[in-house]
């Protein structure tokens, strides 16, 4: 073990937010050891802007809770951690971990429970990469380096601690982390890792919970180097494990969307990771849609069913949370609305909550050479920058063109789906995805059907008393504890 002078590693307390200093200071004052560890230290040493700072201590989670009281929540079962709120920020505080006791690993060697507290040396050897295992005590101005990690920082090498095969078996997610850090930091992967990182090894990812893989996939999408990591995921066989149904031949559309995502992150814009799922699964959605329409299912129903099918299959690999599922299906649904908008609805459509994401999606399709958008991406692009008068003229001209197309279609005796719908067209837009169509709500709806006639009173937003039916969505909402530090707002505000 070597103790490095923090200033010599380019570290100073001035770079640290008050939240992490507050956590370190409070733990130290209470008589515990406390360090900053992980990505925060690594990124500062590399001159990058850390995403967050993690703390590690010899205090157990319940002792951490004693120090911070109501500002602290203990989370996790497999991997128990304390979440400490400091101002608006959340700091993860982990306790030094010893190797897990026996009988908590799966048949494949995967660690299932990991809450055996230990010393800093033991904690160090449990970490993944050397560059993630430096312990920084900012008040003492020192960095504890147990494995000459500083050299790996200098040589830009990603080295796993211990035997790479064993470390992958213990936690297959480390394979994803290898590729993520190699892409993000532009580091070389240690040959010892490359030797064992085979397609067979990636099979172990099947044992990882789809919830965890969804979280990891989000990190891949939002790290700012999505375009760079995609070929790596394919080359190492990880792609197949994460997105089994998406071909390994990257389409122009996916490529453009990945570049676009990276650019947005670079200039500090928000992104919604579900948007990239919509992109990845678009071709599968179309295929499934064609399957249903070929069977004679009407277009709207075919779209709804295709959306459900495709997302359900993907969820066997990476779970798709309800909000992401709705988002993806709405983006897909928007494609047909934007392609053939009813003139009376154009204005309302442009103000729709999902317009921006739907439009971005269509424009990316168009830019990647998809001619089925019929140039409507560019049309909407221009429309948004027009004055009110220009907008009116654009709608009239669109309307004329539409009538012309319809006459042409009639002459060719092709039934036009929109003809009848037009008669009842109003400026009100139907919901893009009907709540009743989502997976588990269907059964809940029928269960609640009997109660639906009963009325309940609530106070509405204007403060007035209002009667609502017992099956109103507001009554079904569960209180969700959100980790605000991890909420990513999107897609394109």
Q: Give the residue numbers marked as catalytic.
A: 52, 54, 128
- Peptide linkage before 399 cis (omega within 30 of 0): no
Query: What minimum distance in Å lies between the beta carbon of 350 and Mg ion?
Result: 39
**Contacting range for ligand ATP; rule: CB under 6 A; set: 107-115, 124-132, 204-212, 248-256:** 124-132
Q: Does residue number 307 form part of the binding site for Mg ion (CB under 5 A)?
A: no
Q: Does residue number 39 form part of the binding site for Mg ion (CB under 5 A)?
A: yes
Q: Does residue number 57 form part of the binding site for ligand ATP (CB under 6 A)?
A: no
Count of residues for the chain?
493
Q: Does residue number 490 form part of the binding site for Mg ion (CB under 5 A)?
A: no
- The residue assigned the tokens 């969505």 is 473
Query: What minimum distance in Å lies between the beta carbon of 51 and Mg ion?
Result: 6
Q: Does residue number 80 form part of the binding site for ligand ATP (CB under 6 A)?
A: no
**Contacting range for Mg ion; rule: CB under 5 A; set: 31-39, 221-229, 351-359, 410-418:** 31-39
What tokens appear for 6 in the block?
Answer: 């923090």
> Cβ closer to Mg ion: 265 or 300?
265
Closest CB to ligand ATP belongs to which residue? 39
Query: What minimum distance in Å lies between the beta carbon of 148 and ligand ATP?
Result: 16
> Cβ closer to ligand ATP: 39 or 307?
39
Query: What minimum distance in Å lies between the beta carbon of 133 and Mg ion?
Result: 13
Query: What minimum distance in Å lies between the beta carbon of 263 and Mg ion?
Result: 23
47: phi > 0 → left, psi -120 to 50 → alpha, else beta; which?
left
Query: What minimum distance in Å lies between the beta carbon of 172 and ligand ATP?
Result: 9
> Cβ closer to ligand ATP: 10 or 162?
162
Q: Does residue number 133 form part of the binding site for ligand ATP (CB under 6 A)?
A: yes
What tokens appear for 229 in the block?
Answer: 């990591």
Q: Does residue number 65 form part of the binding site for ligand ATP (CB under 6 A)?
A: no
Strands lying side by side in the sheet with 54-57: 2-5, 142-145, 134-137, 34-37, 54-57, 89-95, 81-86, 72-75
Q: Does residue number 338 form part of the binding site for ligand ATP (CB under 6 A)?
A: no
- Closest Cα to residue 320, out of 226, 215, 250? 215
Query: What minimum distance in Å lies between the beta carbon of 376 and Mg ion?
Result: 42
Tell which positions 13-52 bind ligand ATP, by CB under 6 A: 38-39, 51-52
Query: What minimum distance in Å lies between the beta carbon of 240 and ligand ATP?
Result: 21
Q: Does residue number 229 form part of the binding site for ligand ATP (CB under 6 A)?
A: no
What tokens appear for 147 in the block?
Answer: 């494995």
Tell which positions 154-173 bind ligand ATP, by CB under 6 A: 171, 173
> Cβ closer to Mg ion: 22 or 370?
22
> Cβ closer to ligand ATP: 44 or 362?
44
Which does residue 303 bind out of Mg ion, ligand ATP, none, counting CB within 5 to 8 angstroms by kind? none
Q: Does residue number 129 form part of the binding site for Mg ion (CB under 5 A)?
A: no
**Of 80, 114, 123, 128, which lies in the binding site for ligand ATP, with binding defined by CB under 6 A?**
128
**Of 132, 241, 261, 438, which lies in the binding site for ligand ATP, with binding defined by CB under 6 A?**
132
Which does residue 171 bind out of Mg ion, ligand ATP, none, counting CB within 5 to 8 angstroms by kind? ligand ATP
Which does residue 174 bind out of ligand ATP, Mg ion, none, counting CB within 5 to 8 angstroms by kind? ligand ATP
User: Three-state SS across the chain?
Assistant: CEEEEHHHHCCCHHHCCHHHHHHHHHHHHCCCCEEEECHHHHHHHCCCCCCCCEEEECCCHHHHHHHHHHHEEEECCCCCEEEEEECCEEEEEEECECCCCCCCECCCCCECCCCCECCHHHHHHHCCEHHHCEEEECCCCEEEECCCHHHHHHHCEECECCCHHHHHHHCCHHHHHHHHHHHHHCCEECHHHHHHCCHHHHHHHHHCCHHHHHHHHHHHHHCCCHHHHHHHHHHCCHHHHHCCCCCCCCCHHHHHHHHHHHHHHHCCCCCCHHHHHHHHCHHHHHHHHHHHHHCCCCHHHHHHHHHHHHHHHHCCCCCCCHHHHHHHHHHHHHHHHHHCCCHHHHHHHHCCCCHHHHHHHHHHHHHCCCHHHCCHHHHHHHHHCCCHHHHHHHHHHHHHHHHHHHHHHHHCCCCCCHHHHHHCCCCCCCCCCCHHHCCCHHHHHHHHHHHHHCEEEEECCCCCEEEEECCCHHHHCCCCCCCHHHCCCCCCC
**Contacting range for ligand ATP; rule: CB under 6 A; set: 126-134, 135-143, 448-456, 472-480:** 126-134
> Cβ closer to Mg ion: 50 or 237?
50
> Cβ closer to Mg ion: 179 or 362?
179
Query: What minimum distance in Å lies between the beta carbon of 64 and Mg ion?
Result: 18
> Cβ closer to ligand ATP: 133 or 242?
133
> Cβ closer to Mg ion: 44 or 308?
44
**CA pair distance 236, 208, nearest whole angstrom:** 17
- Residues found near Mg ion in the complex (CB under 5 A): 39, 52
- Residues found near ligand ATP in the complex (CB under 6 A): 38-39, 51-52, 54, 127-128, 132-133, 171, 173-174
């Amino acid at each position: 073990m070597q103790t490095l002078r923090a200033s010599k590693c380019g570290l100073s307390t001035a770079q640290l937010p008050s939240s992490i200093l507050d956590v370190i200071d409070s733990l130290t004052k209470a008589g515990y050891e406390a360090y900053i560890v992980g990505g925060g230290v690594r990124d500062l040493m590399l001159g990058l802007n850390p995403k967050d700072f993690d703390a590690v201590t010899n205090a157990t989670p319940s002792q951490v809770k004693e120090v911070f009281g109501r500002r602290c929540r203990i989370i996790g079962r497999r991997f128990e951690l304390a979440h400490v709120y400091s101002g608006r920020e959340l700091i993860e505080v982990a306790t030094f971990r010893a190797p897990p006791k026996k009988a908590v690993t799966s048949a494949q060697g995967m660690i299932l429970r990991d809450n055996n507290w230990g010393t800093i040396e033991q904690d160090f050897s449990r970490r993944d990469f050397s560059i993630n295992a430096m312990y920084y005590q900012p008040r003492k101005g020192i960095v504890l380096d147990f494995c000459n990690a500083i050299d790996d920082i200098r040589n830009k090498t990603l080295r796993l601690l211990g035997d790479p095969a064993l470390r992958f078996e213990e936690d297959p997610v480390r394979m994803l982390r290898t590729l993520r850090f190699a892409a993000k930091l532009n580091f070389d992967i240690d040959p010892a890792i490359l030797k064992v990182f085979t397609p067979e090894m990636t099979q172990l990812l099947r044992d990882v919970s789809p919830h965890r893989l969804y979280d990891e996939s989000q990190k891949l999408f939002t790290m700012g180097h999505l375009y760079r990591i995609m070929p790596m995921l394919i080359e190492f066989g990880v792609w197949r494990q994460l997105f089994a149904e998406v071909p390994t031949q990257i389409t122009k559309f996916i490529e453009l969307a990945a570049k676009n995502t990276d650019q947005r992150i670079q200039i500090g814009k928000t992104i919604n990771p579900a948007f990239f799922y919509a992109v990845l699964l678009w071709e599968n959605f179309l295929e499934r849609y064609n399957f249903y329409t070929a069977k004679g299912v009407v277009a709207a129903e075919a779209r709804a069913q295709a959306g459900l099918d495709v997302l359900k299959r993907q969820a066997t690999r990476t779970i798709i949370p309800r909000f992401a599922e709705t988002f993806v299906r709405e983006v897909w649904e928007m494609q047909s609305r934007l392609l053939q908008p009813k003139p009376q609805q154009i204005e309302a459509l442009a103000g729709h909550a999902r317009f921006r994401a739907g439009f971005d999606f269509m424009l990316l399709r168009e830019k990647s050479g998809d001619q089925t958008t019929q140039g409507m991406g560019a049309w909407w692009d221009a429309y948004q920058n027009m004055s009110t008068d220009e907008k009116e003229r654009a709608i009239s001209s669109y309307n004329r063109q539409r009538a012309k197309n319809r006459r042409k279609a009639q002459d060719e005796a092709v039934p036009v789906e929109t003809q009848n719908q037009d008669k009842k067209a109003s400026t009100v837009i139907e919901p893009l995805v009907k709540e009743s169509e989502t997976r588990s709500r269907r059964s809940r709806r029928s269960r609640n059907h009997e109660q639906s006639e009963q009325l309940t009173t609530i106070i509405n937003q204007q403060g007035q008393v209002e009667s609502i039916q017992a099956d109103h969505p507001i009554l079904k909402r569960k209180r969700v504890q959100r980790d605000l530090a991890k909420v990513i707002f999107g897609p394109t505000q």
